[in-house]
Amino acid sequence: MPTPREAILAALHARLSALPATALRGEVLPERVPAEGLLILRDGEPGEAEVTLSPLAYHYQHRAEIEAVVQGTDRDSAFDALTASIGTALAADRTLGGLCDWVEAEAPRPVDLAVEGAASLKAAVIPVVLHYSTADPLG
């Protein structure tokens, strides 16, 4: 049985996988970016837990990251559509099926990256804060 942290990250990846873009988890950037775009979920850091003692619970604001990448001549509108679809997918269920208390994304900071011999990439890291509690910091 997966830990609450793993279940939440798997649910977030499943939510991203439902989008038209290719969604990977913890992978390196492939040589080719699919036409619909690419999303890579990074597990991120759970950060320092806030602890309550009765009952014992560890409350996290886990910062995962989604790397969003598009390539092609119409990068700006493709990137805008991709990031909007991420926002819509997260807003549809802010608890990821009841696995966490709240999910919220922060604004991306896009950059254009030149690729030698190919169309430029437009990419950004989108921080996603996962609020959840667990009875064990390792569980």
Q: Where are the domains of the chain?
A: 4-134
User: HSE-up of 19 (CA within 13 Å, CB side)?
Assistant: 26
Residues 90-118 have pLDDT tens digits of: 999 999 999 999 999 999 999 988 888 77
Residues 55-95 have pLDDT tens digits of: 999 999 999 999 999 998 899 999 999 999 999 999 999 99
pTM: 0.93
What residues pair up with 66 in beta bridges, in sequence order? 41, 126
End-to-end CA distance of the chain: 10
SS3 state at 4? helix
- CB of 37 closer than 8 Å to CB of 22: yes
The residue with tokens 């990439």 is 121
Q: Which two tokens stand for residue 128?
A: 């996603």
Per-residue confidence band for 139, with pLDDT thresholds at 50, 70 and 90: confident
Cα separation, 43 vs 4, in Å, equals: 13
CATH code for residues 4-134: 3.30.70.1700
What residues pair up with 60 in beta bridges, in sequence order? 132
Q: Which two tokens stand for residue 50?
A: 């806030």
- CB of 85 closer than 8 Å to CB of 19: yes
Largest CA distance in the chain: 60
